[in-house]
Homo-oligomer: A and B are copies of this chain.
Amino acid sequence: MDTINVAVVGAMGAVGTEMIRTLEKSRLPVGELVPLDVKENAGKSVDFRGKTYTVKEAARGAFGNVDIALFSAGAGASEVLAPIAVEEGAVVVDNSSQWRMDPRCPLVVPEVNPDDLKDHQGIIANPNCSTIQMLVALAPIHRKYRIRRIVVSTYQAVSGSGLPAIRELTSQTEDKLDGKRPNASVYPHQIAFNALPHIDVFVEEGYTKEEMKMVNETHKILDPAILVSPTAVRIPVFRSHSESVNIETENPFEIEDIRKLLAGAPGVVLQDDPANNVYPMAIEAEGRDEVFVGRIRRDPTAPNSLNMWVVSDNLLKGAALNAVQIAETLHERSLITVRQ
């Protein structure tokens, strides 16, 4: 059987680490793993399927033997290195925001729009974490009932900002419990025991870039006709984003049918038994692959409306897992040139 060589760019980061773990369990026939990172991390080692690999610098010349390169090294690195990786013969799956809205780059959630992969020109973009989990939950509803409008408020984990943010939540929490004044450096304000209505930079009309990603990426992935009104908020959770989602559909539905639809939807787990305190929670989604949906209830304040609660591990389905699933789909559909 042919094998494929997979590079992970940003191999030592929060998402890169999960990419390697996810690849380990994936059905991809990985030949060689090529862990790449910044110069300072070159020389470190990474274990993968029983072998030890040495981290090399992510730079021109590093992709000569690579079939698929999974990038999670930030938009700046992707802007420079992704075209180089393609030039050197790799197909890139990029987790940053750099290529998402580029019309040449498919933006793909495998459960939602896998067919968009077929026209790729070397770079495929992995969507924003908040968008991925929302669309995995909403796509089946949209297909059957046509979603007209989404009002969404997020409860996002710090791991979305990488390892420094995880360390900052830890140290601020310790300081706060010790009665010391916490120090903020990753975020503009203390995140421990706080809620920050501010993720990524402010861009237009008072919305943040994170919020506009949820608007624009929903349009590109699912349907440009869906209206999205987002509020993105960071809370002191290490891992897994939660979302309070209110939707209005064109066509009338029964709540029981929405539950049935979601129970059978790919990548979705229904956790909706409030009488027994069962609903999705960040701490339970951590380390799991699926998108968890619960608290599904009719919203009687608008026609064809409902509220729901959507939770998923932002480092897995929100990042590493979705990227690996894109790689698997590319491989299964023969959309990568595999070297012999």
A-to-B contact residues, CB < 8 Å: 149, 151, 153, 155, 170, 173-174, 177, 188-190, 193-198, 202, 205-208, 227-229, 231, 233, 235-238, 242, 244, 246, 274-275, 277, 279-283, 294-302, 305, 307, 309
A233-B229 contact given A205-B298, A281-B195, CB 8 Å threshold: no
The answer to whether A283 touches B188 (Cβ under 8 A) is no
6 nearest A-B residue pairs (beta carbon): A206-B297, A227-B301, A153-B244, A153-B153, A188-B277, A231-B244
Most buried by B among A238, A301, A302: A301
Please measure, in the bound complex, the distance between the C-alpha atom of A202 and the C-alpha atom of B299, giving whole angstroms.
15
A301-B194 contact given A236-B235, A277-B188, A281-B189, CB 8 Å threshold: no
Please measure, in the bound complex, the distance between the C-alpha atom of A118 and the C-alpha atom of B285, giving whole angstroms.
51
A198-B279 contact given A231-B244, A231-B295, A235-B235, CB 8 Å threshold: yes
Contacts of A170 in B (CB 8 A): 177
A339 CB, nearest partner CB in chain B, Å: 44
Pick from B173, B177, B194: contact of A282, CB below 8 A: B194
A282-B193 contact given A151-B151, A205-B298, A275-B202, CB 8 Å threshold: yes
Contacts of A196 in B (CB 8 A): 281
A298 CB, nearest partner CB in chain B, Å: 6
The answer to whether B149 touches A301 (Cβ under 8 A) is yes
Q: Can you name the residue of chain B whose Cβ is closest to the Cβ of A296?
A: B206
